[in-house]
């Protein structure tokens, strides 16, 4: 009996220990299985390698004839790129840790490891852990700041599509980073004579914080000009002047598709300022391109008065659907580096069953998601679907 009680005690402790370990593992992995963890690691590794290797002179390395020397040069080039992204003090810390980790390897492999060798390895590992802790602290602080920036940025774009008489609208965005440089909105523009709605999709050149700040500037100028201008051409000309003041001599330009829709007449007027050609799918299934008719906003050498932003008008019919997107959608890549492309987008738009704007948007983004998988994207993906009833 005492032996059985002891066995039951050990068994209970083992079960409790296994339960604690299982709970800890669930916390660490957030419920992901091994396949999902490997996909995430693989995607992160590819993204990090691309970050560090883009500054490497691969042409010079490939010219090296000896394979071992070529491998050593490539390894050093990537390591040096990583090293130079740290602060000077942390560079020294990484160099010391690397030397302490590598120097004992010949002795260890030869089987002559001793206490001193073990201490060198332990100190090197400890220094790497300290360096990791410092970098992690910076990352946590930056992530908190970026989350605040993302929350503020979310205030600048609508949460839900507005109710437009005789039309449906749906929109969504997937930032490549925590904050984005894409902008979209659907705004009422009423006056005493007519009711109209402004449809805007814009893409600021660049990524992350700089692009997000310019996106906020674009949003502010758009709202300021909304009631101060009468025609769509005047509105875009004003946006161009604002953009030129903040474009850093044209390096931070903005592409934009801006349209005005009148529910009473189903008339759509638009200006495409250097943006991807919007697609207009008619009720009979045919698709028209609405290409760019002007340069992007914010290029100082070209102003609205000298170049001009001329609007084009279309008469929409019931079941006509307008699809506006940023280049991140068609330039989304999979793990092989193959772009999604406009051809696949056109094939997806050939879906024969009648859809609401929301269902079409959901299906299009799902198609892109299946294509790219877990591959980290370098650009924001934004899409807006406007359907005339």
Most confident of 158-162, 206-210, 247-251: 158-162
Residue 152 in this model has a pLDDT that exceeds 80: no
Residue 361 in this model has a pLDDT that exceeds 90: yes
Mean predicted confidence (pLDDT) in 107-133: 83
Question: Dihedrals φ, ψ of 51, to 5°?
Answer: -65, -45
CATH superfamily of the domain spanning 161-388:
PPM-type phosphatase domain (3.60.40.10)
Residue-level pLDDT at 279: 96
Q: How confident is the model at residue 4 (pLDDT cuts 50, 70, 90)?
A: low
Choose between 140 and 186: higher pLDDT: 186
What is the pLDDT of the chain when averaged over all its residues?
A: 85
Encode 222-246: b = buried (16+ Cβ within 10 Å), e = exposed: beebeeebeebbebbbbbbebbbee
Mean predicted confidence (pLDDT) in 46-53: 77
Residue 322 in this model has a pLDDT that exceeds 90: yes
Instruction: For the chain, state the CA radius of gyration.
Output: 28
Residue 81 in this model has a pLDDT that exceeds 60: yes
Mean predicted confidence (pLDDT) in 153-175: 89
Distance CA 165, CA 19 (A): 57
Residue-level pLDDT at 304: 45
Distance CA 258, CA 381 (A): 18
User: Is the Cβ–Cβ distance between 219 and 156 less than 8 Å?
Assistant: yes
Mean predicted confidence (pLDDT) in 81-110: 86
Residues paired with 201 in a beta bridge: 184, 257
Ordered by start, the domain boundaries in the chain are 1-31, 32-151, 161-388
Question: Dihedrals φ, ψ of 258, to 5°?
Answer: -125, 125
Residue-level pLDDT at 281: 95
Mean predicted confidence (pLDDT) in 7-35: 73
Residue 195 in this model has a pLDDT that exceeds 90: no
Q: How confident is the model at residue 10 (pLDDT cuts 50, 70, 90)?
A: low
Most confident of 47-61, 226-240, 275-289, 370-384: 275-289
In this structure, the number of other CB atoms found within 10 A of the CB of residue 79 comes to: 14
Q: How confident is the model at residue 317 (pLDDT cuts 50, 70, 90)?
A: very high
Q: Quick one: what percent of the chain has pLDDT higher than 70?
A: 91
Mean predicted confidence (pLDDT) in 183-187: 92
Distance CA 233, CA 297 (A): 13
Q: How confident is the model at residue 13 (pLDDT cuts 50, 70, 90)?
A: low
Q: How confident is the model at residue 272 (pLDDT cuts 50, 70, 90)?
A: very high
| Residues 6+ away with beta carbon under 8 Å from 39 | 373, 374
Q: How confident is the model at residue 63 (pLDDT cuts 50, 70, 90)?
A: confident
Identify the weakest region by mean pLDDT among 9-13, 15-19, 241-245, 265-269.
9-13
Residue 2 in this model has a pLDDT that exceeds 60: no
Q: How confident is the model at residue 214 (pLDDT cuts 50, 70, 90)?
A: confident
């Amino acid at each position: 009996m005492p032996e059985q009680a002891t066995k039951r005690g050990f068994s209970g402790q083992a079960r409790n220990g296994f339960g604690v370990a299982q709970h800890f593992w669930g916390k660490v992995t957030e419920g992901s299985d091994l396949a999902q963890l490997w996909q995430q690691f693989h995607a992160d590794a590819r993204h990090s390698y691309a970050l560090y290797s883009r500054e490497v002179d691969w042409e010079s390395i490939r010219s090296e004839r000896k394979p071992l020397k070529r491998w050593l040069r490539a390894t050093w080039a990537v390591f040096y790129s990583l090293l130079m992204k740290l602060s000077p003090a942390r560079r020294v810390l990484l160099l010391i840790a690397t030397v302490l980790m590598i120097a004992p390897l010949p002795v260890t492999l030869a089987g002559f490891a001793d206490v001193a060798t073990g201490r060198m390895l332990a100190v090197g590992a400890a220094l790497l852990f300290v360096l990791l802790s410092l970098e992690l602290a910076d990352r946590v602080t930056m992530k908190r700041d970026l989350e605040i920036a993302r929350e503020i940025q979310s205030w600048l774009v609508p949460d839900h599509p507005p109710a437009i008489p005789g039309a449906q609208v749906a929109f969504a965005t997937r930032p490549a980073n925590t904050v984005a440089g894409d902008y979209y909105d659907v705004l009422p523009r009423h006056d005493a004579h007519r009711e109209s709605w402004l449809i805007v999709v814009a893409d600021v050149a660049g990524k992350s914080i700089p692009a997000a700040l310019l996106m906020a500037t674009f949003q502010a100028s758009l709202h300021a000009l909304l009631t101060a201008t009468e025609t769509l051409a005047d509105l875009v000309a004003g946006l161009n002047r604002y953009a030129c003041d903040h474009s850093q001599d044209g390096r931070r330009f903005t592409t934009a598709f801006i349209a005005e829709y009148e529910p009473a007449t189903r008339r759509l007027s638009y200006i495409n300022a250097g943006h991807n050609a919007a697609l207009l799918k008619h009720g009979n299934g045919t698709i028209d391109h609405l290409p760019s008719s002007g340069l992007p906003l914010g290029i100082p050498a070209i102003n609205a008065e000298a170049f001009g932003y001329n609007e084009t008008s279309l008469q929409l019919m019931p079941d006509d659907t307008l699809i506006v997107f940023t280049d991140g959608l068609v330039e989304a890549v999979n793990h092989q580096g193959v772009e999604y492309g406009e051809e696949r987008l056109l094939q997806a738009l050939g879906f024969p069953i009648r859809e609401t704007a929301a269902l079409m948007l959901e299906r299009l983004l799902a198609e892109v998601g299946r294509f790219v998988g877990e591959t980290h994207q370098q650009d924001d993906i934004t899409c807006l679907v406007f359907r005339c009833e």
